[in-house]
Structure 1
Amino acid sequence: MSRTTKVNPSNNATTTSSPTDDEISQSSSSLTTSTELKDQCSNAGLSNKNLSTVSPDLTTSEYIAEQRAKTRDIVLGLQNKNIKLIAIDFDNTFLSTHTHGYYKGTADSLLPYIRPVFQYFIQELLASSAFSRTLHVCFVSFSPQEKLIKKLLRLAFTTSKTDQIIIRCSTPEFVANMKADYPGKECHLLSVVTEIDKKRKTRIARREILLLDDDPYNISTAERFGHRVLEIRDEISLDILKDFVYNKLPDS
């Protein structure tokens, strides 16, 4: 049985934990407004992505160039490891907060809560010549708010290429048409892989999928199914992601 890799950002050490068969534990649904969301993030000490600390030795443009260079290295490393599908969770992963699947505010009010690492990472993926050809991107979420995620991506990256990012949410239609009750994000991933096979004529093996998710259960389940995984924590950064890709991610 495979084991889950977790990155400790303080010393770049790794720890392992055995996968469990616990049932998915989801918080009860709640109605979330933009004001409530801002209060939650403020109380949790979450910062606006535009207030990221810049080294005093670097100008803003130099800092951005440095981050983009790191991101290019990450994308190249993923290709060298033969990763073909990058699957990203939405709440507490792409975002630094949780919308609980019933967010009532506008998509633009969520922009400050996109983690900077994903702002750079997805921007570079969209710019890559491999995007939607040999390197595919999807969002897999238990939230039913597919339209919200789609609109947020368009606002965040201002390119029509975001329409090529496959979004698989637990909408009533998706849940009703699930042919099997797989654990974790496996139903979502299977649906995405099937769509890529049919529409883009590309077959993706289990080991060629990288899941980025904050939930340990989803991570351990994905690893048991043969996928590559990285558990996302609040400390996630481009440095941590690059170290994972080059030093901890197995070859596919």
Structure 2
Amino acid sequence: MCCVCLCVSRNMATAFAKPSKQVRAKLDSFVVALNKKGIKLLALDFDKTLIDIHSGGMWEESTDKLVPHVRPCMKDLLETASHKGLYVAIVTYHTQGWLIKELLHKVLPKKVANKIYVQANTSDFVQRQRASSSGSSSDGSSTVGGINRSLIVNLNGKEAHIAAVVNDIYNDHSVAIRKEEIILMDDDINNVRIASSFGHYAFQVQQSVDYPTFESFETMLLL
């Protein structure tokens, strides 16, 4: 039976099975390693990272139908990282930031969900990116090097999203986060490579990701 049918409460965190202590230890050890490495911001992609499908950038069904697609290991990563004092964010090309926030509140405790920053490709976000451009095309749309500015967020990976989150964190908490204090986890290898070129830590998330994967991530982190 679908976990959506098992839960009456709007918060569906209890619908996820608890991992064994041995399996959970791999996640806990990874988050401890992030702290030791000086990581302050964990930025997580949405499609095929937090969830195990690609939403198409705009989800046309109910948020409840996304709940079974949330990866338990990634849900627990968000919660554990938040409890350990890291700032946590979802950075995504998905356009419905409100839907992601609603989903987080369905699968995580309210106090955790409220702390997570979500930077999606909302119309406001894209407009801000256009406004930051110095070029302008003949039809009035912003361009950079002859490329429409609305595409820049994709060409620069998740850097514009991460920069927006870092700015929000500074405004909210007066905490300045440096590039080497950020880690991106994303299924798209191009976004991972771009993040690395900007001086962040970055790991590619494979479709088979699960709790044991965090052990491999920790090993790579400490190399």
Identify the TM-score tier after normalising by the shorter chain: 0.7 to 0.9
* 1:99 maps onto 2:55 in alignment: yes
- CA contact under 8 A between 1:107 and 1:151: conserved in structure 2? yes
Counterpart residue identity of residue 211, structure 1: L
Match 2:108 to one of 157, 160, 165 = 157
Q: 4+ runs of 1 displaced by more than 4 Å?
A: none
Match of 2:68 in 1: 112
Match for residue 248 of structure 1? 220
DSSP-derived class of the 1:98 partner: coil
- The alignment's C-alpha RMSD in Å is 1.9
Is the partner of 1:177 in helix, strand or coil? Answer: helix
Task: Give yes or no for the alignment of 1:122 onto 2:78.
Answer: yes
Q: Is the 8 A contact 1:117 1:238 kept in 2?
A: yes
Deviation track 1:163-220 (CA, whole Å, cap 9, x = no partner) reads 1111001100111012254611111011111111121111111111100001111111
Written as runs of structure 1 = structure 2, the 5 A alignment for 1:17-32 is: none
Partner residue of 1:56? none
Give the Cα–Cα distance (whole angstroms) in 2 for the partners of residues 156 and 94 of structure 1.
Answer: 11
* Cα deviation 1:1-49 (Å, max 9, x = unaligned): xxxxxxxxxxxxxxxxxxxxxxxxxxxxxxxxxxxxxxxxxxxxxxxx9
Q: Matched residue pairs, number?
A: 187
Counterpart Cα distance in 2 of 1:98 and 1:117 = 17
State the distance in 2 between where 1:148 and 1:120 align.
19
1 CA distance for matches of 2:185 and 2:23?
A: 20
Secondary structure class of the residue paired with 1:202: coil
Percent identity over the alignment? Answer: 29
Offset of residue 250 of structure 1: 4.8
- With structure 2 as the length reference, what TM-score do the two structures score? 0.78
Consecutive unaligned residues in structure 1, runs of 5 or more: 1-48, 51-59
The within-5 A match list for 1:63-142 is 63-128=19-84, 130=85, 135-142=86-93
CA distance in 2, matches of 1:126, 1:191: 19
AA partner of residue 158 (structure 1): P
Q: What is the rounded CA distance, in whole Å, between the counterparts of 2:81 and 2:193 in structure 1?
A: 26
Q: Which residues of 2 match residues 171-186 of structure 1 at below 5 A?
A: 171-178=122-129, 179-180=132-133, 181=152, 183-186=156-159
- Ranked by relative contact order (alpha carbons within 8 Å, sequence separation 6 or more), the top structure is 1
What TM-score does the superposition give when structure 1 sets the normalisation length? 0.69
